[in-house]
Structure 1
Amino acid sequence: MDGREVAVKVQYPGAGEALLGDLRRLARLARGVAPVFPGIDIKPLVEEIQARAEEELDYHLEAEAQHTFAEAFRGDPQFFVPDVVEGGTTVLVTEWLESPGSLATVIAEGTQEERDHYGELLVRFLFSGPQRTGMLHADPHPGNFRIMPHEDGSPGRLGVLDFGAVARLPEHGLPPAMGRLLKIASAEDHEELAEGLRREGFIKDNIRVDPQLVLDYLAPFVEPTRVERFRFTREWMRGQFERLNDPRQPTYTVATKLNLPPSYLLIHRTWLGGIGLLSQLGAEAPFRSILEELLPGFSD
C-alpha cells in the first residue's frame, strides 16, 4: 500500500451463513426450553445474540471500532492497538503488530512475572477501554492479545487485535449499577444484593430466590474483590465450575432463576471469558484496586 507492513483479514463469501442459520434454529428451540428456565427472558436474549453475531460479521463496523480504539490508545505506554489502513465489505487491512507471541505463549511457557504483568494489563485494558471509547472489547481469546516485551526481554506492552465483537455502551462506559452491585456483593450484603439485582432486571418480579444462595452463586466474580491481591488458578476455576454445576449443591438451581438482561450479554461473556483467561495464566494482581480505579460505581 505505502511500504508499510500490514495484516489482512478476509471474509469469504457465505462465511456467516452457517452461523446465522444456527442462531435462527436456536431461536426456535428457545421457545421449547423456556419453561425449564422460568427466571430467564429467553426471547430477547436470543434476539440480542443474533444481533451481535451479525455485527461480528460486519467488517465496516469492525473497522470503525478498531480505529476508535487505536485513536484512544495511541502512544499509550501499556497498550498498542494497530490502526485500520483500509476496510471494505469482505477485507480488513490493519497495521502490522510485531510480537513474539500471544497470551497463549505466556500460558504455555511464561514466567510468573510475565503471567502477573500481562494478566494485570489484560484487566486494565478491558476496564479502561469502555471509559476511553464507549466500547468493550468482548472477545478475550488469548490469541487476540499479543505480548510486546522490551528490548531487554522484560515484560512490556500488550497488543490487542480483533474488534469484531465489541459491546457498544450507551453511557460511554460500563454501567455504574454493575460496579455498585459488585461492591455490595463484596461486602457480603446478600439482602441488598438481591434487591439490587431485582432492580436491574437480573431477578424477575415473579421469581423468588434465597439471597444467600445468589451471593454464593456469584462467588467467581466476587472473591477476587475481597482481598488486596488475588491469584487466579486453574484449580480455583475448576473448583468454582464443579461447585456451580453439581446438582447436589444448593446453588445448582440458582442458574435457572437468574435473568441476563440483553444489555449485559457481552459484558457477561467478556467477564466470564476474562476470568477463564486469567485462570489459565495463573495471574496475580491487585484486582480490587483496579476496579476501584476503573469500574464506575465500585468505589462509591
Structure 2
Amino acid sequence: MPAPEHKNPVNHHDEGKLRILAAATNDSRRQAPQSTIFFTTHKCASTFVSQFLPLVTRIGNLKHLDYAKDIYGLGNEISAIDPFEFMSLNSDFLFSPTGEIYGPIRRPVSIKNLSKFKAIFFLRDPRDVAVSAYHSFGFSHVLPTHTERREKFLKEREKIKQEGIDQYALRAVEEWILPTFGEYANLYDEAGKSIFISYDQYIDNPRELIGRTLSFMEIEGFPENIVTQLANLASPIQKTTSGKNPQHKRSGRSRQFDDELKPETIGQLNHLLSDVLNRWDFRE
C-alpha cells in the first residue's frame, strides 16, 4: 500500500536556511541604537520632557513611545487602572532593547532584561516633588477619563484638600515618593548604562543637560535652533505679558519647600528622606 500523500510538506532544513538568511541580512536590527528608558517623577519639568523626547526621534534613529500617556488616553477602552503596573506586567511585549526611547515614565517599572537598555534618571528634589504634587493633584491636575481611575483621583483630591500641604507632604513621601526613589536606585544599577541628571542642572544650564542627554543616547546632528528653543523653555526667567520686565517663574523653581512647608515638617522630611537625599546628592 503506497504511503499517504502529504500536501505541502514542510522541509525543516529549508526553513532553517531561510531564518539564517533573514538574520544575516537584517542590517536594520544590527544598526539600530540601544533603546533608552527615560525615568523621572511627577512634577519634574513635564512640559520640557514631553517636547524634547519626540524631537529626539526626528533626528536620531529612535522611535518614541509614551505608554503612560497612551494608557491614560485610552480611557475606558482599557481596564488597566495603574499604567505603571500594566507596563511591568507586559514589559516583554512593550519594551524592545533596540531602536526605541520610552518615556517619560514617572514611576518605577519592572522591565525584563533591563541590562540590555540604557536608562536616564531625571529627578527633582523629593521635597519639591511633594510640594508640587500637592498643588497639582489637589487643585489643578486634569481629571482622568477612565471612570474608575477618575473616581479614585477625586477621592484622593478631596483627602489632599482636607489634610493641607504639610500633612500631605509627609504622607506622599511615605506612600509613593520614598518607594519611587528607592526603586530607582535599584533600576539605575540594573540597567546596562545609566545617567542621572538633576532638575537643578536642568534649571541652571539647560543646554548642557540637552547635550549630555543627546550624547548619552549617541544622537548627533541635533539642530542648534531646536536646542535653543528647548533651552528657553527651561529658563527660570520669563517675560511679563507686556514684554518689558522679566520676572521669576513662581512654578517649577527649586527648593519651594523652604517657603511652603513648616520648619518642623521639613525636619521630618529630611529624616525620612536622609538616604534618598544622600543617594541622589540633594542638599538638605
Shared fold (TM-score, shorter chain, > 0.5): no
Structure with larger Rg? 2
More helix as a share of residues: 2
Length-normalised TM-score, structure 2 = 0.28
